[in-house]
Amino acid sequence: MKRKKLIRRYLQFVKPYRHYLFAVIGLGLLQFVVPLATPWLTKILIDDVLGQNGSGWTLKRVLVIFGSIYAMSVVVTFIRNHLTARLGSRMVAGIRRQLYEHIQKLSQRFYDNQQVGGILSRVINDVNGAQNLVGTTVINIVFDMMMIVFAAVFMFSLNWKLALLSLWILPIYYLTFTNLNIRIRYASRAVQRQMERISGVLVERISAMKIVQSFNGEKSELDRFDKQAKRHIHHSLAAQLLSNTLGRISEFVGYSGTLITWAIGGTLVLNGHLTIGALVAFHAYLGQLYGPIQRFADVNVTIQNALTNIERIFELLDTAPEVKNADNPLPLNACGGDIRFKNVSFSYETELPVPRNDNIGYDPDLVERQKPPKAFYWLPPKTKSPPLPTVVEKRRALKNISFHAKPGQVVALVGPSGSGKSTLINFIPRFYDADRGTLYLDGKNIQEYDIHELRKQIAVVLQDNILFSGTVFDNIVYGRPEATMEEVVRAAIAANAHDFIVKWEKGYETVLGERGLRLSGGQKQRLAIARALLKDPKILILDEATSALDAESEAIVTEALDNLMQNRTTFVIAHRLATVVRADLILVMDNGRIVEWGTHEQLLLQEGLYRELYEKQLQAMRPEDLPIRSIS
C-alpha cells in the first residue's frame, strides 16, 4: 500500500478523536515560543542589556519575559503530554475493537491458515506500534519541520550569506534519507513478521504445555525460541543500524556546518561586520535547524515501524470474510429444521509459503529475507508491501454430497478417519460455504437466510467442549444471555449437570478457570449440553465423545444427549453404536463421498463398507451397546 494512502486510512482511526489531536497540535504551537524566542532574547540580553547600548531593555524586563515563557512551556507540555496519552490510548482501544469485530466475521478458512498467536500479535503488538504515529515525538516532527523554516527565516534575517552556507546540509540529508529509508522499512517489516512467528509458536505451545512437558520438549522448544529470537534481534538490529547510520551522517554534516559557520561568523565578528549577540543567536537558530533534522533521523525507525504496523493492521482489516451474509437476507423465525444437501463439493485451501529454492528449504520459524531493490533513489520510492510468496494447496474433502434430513430426524455420520464427517457438518452453520452444490434449509438455499438468524437455530456440541472463563451461569447462558435463572436450572437438570453444580459451594456462581480446566471431561460435556439445551435449537450438531468419559459418566451424558436430541434435526458424528443403530438415516462416508446410506438394518443387508465397519470398528466402540438384533 502506498504511504500516502496508508496514512490517509490511518487518519480515519484518528478522526473520532480529532479534537484531542487538534488540541495537541495547538498546544504544540505554543511550545514553539520557547526555542524561537530564546535566541532572540539572548541576543537582547548580550547586545542590549549586558552591552549597555542604551536601547531601553533592562535585565529585569528580559528575565520576566524569560520566566513567563518557561512557566508557560512547563504547563503547556504537561497538558499536551496528557492529551497525547489520551489520544493514543483511545485510538488503540478503537483500532483493537475494530480488529476484533472484523476477525470475528472472518470465516474458518482464514483461521485454518493462521496461527492464533500471529493474529494476537497484530491485535496487540501492531496496534501498540501504530499508536506511536500520534505520539508526541512524531507529532513534534511536524513542528520540527516548521521550526526548520522559521529558524531559516530568522537566520536569513540575521545574515543571509551565513545562512546560505548553513543550508548545504539539506540536500545531503535528503538523499541519504531517501536511500536508507526504504531499507529501514524492509527491515522493519521483517521485524514485525518475525514477531508474528514468535507469538504464533508461543501461543500454540503454551496452550499445549502438557504435551510439551510430557514429551520432554522443553529444551527443543527453548532452542526453537532462541533461533526465532535470534532472527528477530538480527532484523531489529539491521533496522536500528540503518537508522543509526542515517542519524550519524546527518550529525556529521551538521557538525561540519556548525564549524564552518563558527569560522566564517567568527571572522565577520572580528572584522566588525556582525555583533557577538547576532552570532550567538545565529548559532542558536542553526541548532534549531540541524536539531530537528537529526531528531527526525533518530525517530525515523519508530515511524517506519509504526507504518509497518499500520500496514499489517490494514492487511488484516482488508481480509474479506469468505462466508458473507446475503444482501437482503430472509428472516428465519419459524425454522422447521429440514436440511437437504444437493451435490455439495468442497476443497480445503491451504496457503503455504513457497519453499525456498536452496538446500535449507522453508523454515516455518524464520521469516524469509526480502531485500530492497538495489537502486539509487533521487525521489523517495513508493514502497509497496512485498507480498509474501505463497502457494495455495487444494485438498478435495467432499465430493457430490446429496441427502435429505427431515425435521426431527437423527442423521448419523460414520466412516473411516479423514472421510469428511467433520467437514460435512461445518456447512450447516455456514462455517464454510460449498464450492459447488447447494444446501437447503426448509426448501430455501441456506445462504439466503440471515447468518445470525441461522446460527440461532443451531447448537453445536463437540468432543472437546470449550468453556470460557467465567461462572457456570455465564457459560450456560452464553447463547441466550436473556435467559432467567429458572431456565438455566431447567437446562442444567435436563443435561444431568444440576446435581454436580449445586454440590459446589457457590453453585451456579462457581468461577471456571481458563477453558473450564477445573472440570472433568464429563462435567464439561454436560455443561455444553446445558448450554445447547438452553438455546433450544431446531438443529443440533453433535460430535459424540469417544473414550473421554468413563462408563458411568457416559451413561449420564448419554441420557443428557438423548434429552437434547428430542424434536431436533440432529447430525451426529457417531461413536456409539446405540446412536448409530437408532438413527433415522446413516450416512457412510469414505474419501469425501457418501458411499452408502440408509437405516442400520438396510445397511447391514448391503454387505458393504458399513457392514465391514460394523464388524471391525463399531462393535468395538461400546460392546455393551450391541444391538439385540442379530446381524446375520
Ligand X SMILES: Nc1ncnc2c1ncn2[C@@H]1O[C@H](COP(=O)(O)OP(=O)(O)OP(=O)(O)O)[C@@H](O)[C@H]1O
Least Å from the CB of residue 435 to ligand X? 13
Judged by CB under 6 A, which stretch of 245-253, 410-418, 531-539, 601-609 contacts ligand X? Answer: 410-418
191 burial (CB, 10 Å; 0-12 / 13-18 / 19+) is buried
CB 502 within 8 A of CB 493: no
Selected range binding ligand X among 138-146, 188-196, 412-420, 557-565, rule: CB under 6 A: 412-420
Q: How far is the CB of 345 from ligand X (least distance, A)?
A: 13
- Tell me the closest approach of the beta carbon of residue 559 to ligand X, in angstroms: 25
In this structure, the number of other CB atoms found within 10 A of the CB of residue 95 comes to 23
Instruction: State residue 402 phi and psi, 5-degree precision.
Output: -135, 130
Length of the chain: 632
Shortest distance, position 603 Cβ to ligand X, whole Å: 17
If one asks whether residue 422 binds ligand X (CB under 6 A), the answer comes out as yes
Q: What is the footprint of ligand X within residues 259-298 (CB under 6 A)?
A: none
Q: What is the dihedral of CA 13, 315, 188, 20, to 10 degrees?
A: 0
**Per-position x/- string for 359-398, each x denoting binding to ligand X as judged by CB under 6 A, each - no binding:** ------------------------------------x-x-
Q: Of residues 40, 348, 431, 597, which one binds ligand X by CB under 6 A?
A: 348
Biggest CA-to-CA distance, the chain: 125
Report helix, strand or coil for 561. helix
Q: Which is nearer to ligand X, 2 or 616 (CB)?
A: 616
Is the Cβ of residue 232 or residue 421 nearer to ligand X in the bound state?
421
Does 616 contact ligand X by CB under 6 A? no
**Minimum separation from the CB atom of position 320 to ligand X (A):** 19
Q: Least Å distance between CB 528 and ligand X?
A: 18
Q: By C-beta, is 223 or 464 nearer to ligand X?
A: 464
- The answer to whether residue 417 forms part of the interface with ligand X (CB under 6 A) is yes
Binding segment for ligand X (CB under 6 A), chosen from 92-100, 305-313, 417-425, 484-492, is: 417-425
- Cell 487538534 belongs to 22
Strands (E), 275-389: 339-353
Could you tell me which residues come within 8 angstroms of residue 185 by beta carbon, excluding any fewer than 6 positions away? 304, 307, 308, 372, 383
Asked if residue 419 binds ligand X (CB under 6 A), the reply is yes
Is 350 a binding residue for ligand X by CB under 6 A? The answer is: yes
Stretch that binds ligand X, among 234-242, 326-334, 411-419, 620-628 (CB under 6 A): 411-419
Distances (CA, A) of 494 to 27, 525, 546, 592, 597: 64, 13, 21, 36, 32
Is 322 among the residues that bind ligand X (CB under 6 A)?
Answer: no
DSSP symbol at 542: E
Residue 431 is a binding residue for ligand X (CB under 6 A):
no
End-to-end CA distance of the chain: 69
Please identify, using beta-carbon distances, which residue of 391 and 605 lies nearer to ligand X.
391
Nearer to ligand X, 147 or 401 (CB): 401
Shortest distance, position 214 Cβ to ligand X, whole Å:
22
Q: In what order do the strands lie in the sheet with 539-543?
A: 458-461, 539-543, 569-573, 410-414, 585-590, 593-598
Do the strands 585-590 and 410-414 form a parallel or antiparallel pair, or are they unpaired? parallel
- 244's CB contacts (< 8 A; 6+ apart) are none
* Candidates 123-131, 300-308, 418-426, 534-542; binding stretch for ligand X (CB under 6 A): 418-426
The reply on whether position 620 binds ligand X by CB under 6 A is: no
Q: Strand 390-405 relative to strand 339-353: parallel, antiparallel, unpaired?
A: antiparallel
Based on the shown chain and the rule CB under 6 A, indicate whether residue 421 belongs to the binding site for ligand X.
yes
- Closest C-alpha among 438, 524, 528, 439 to residue 479: 528
Report 61-120 residues binding ligand X (CB under 6 A). 112
Which residues of the shown chain bind ligand X in the complex (CB under 6 A)? 112, 348, 350, 395, 397, 415, 417-423
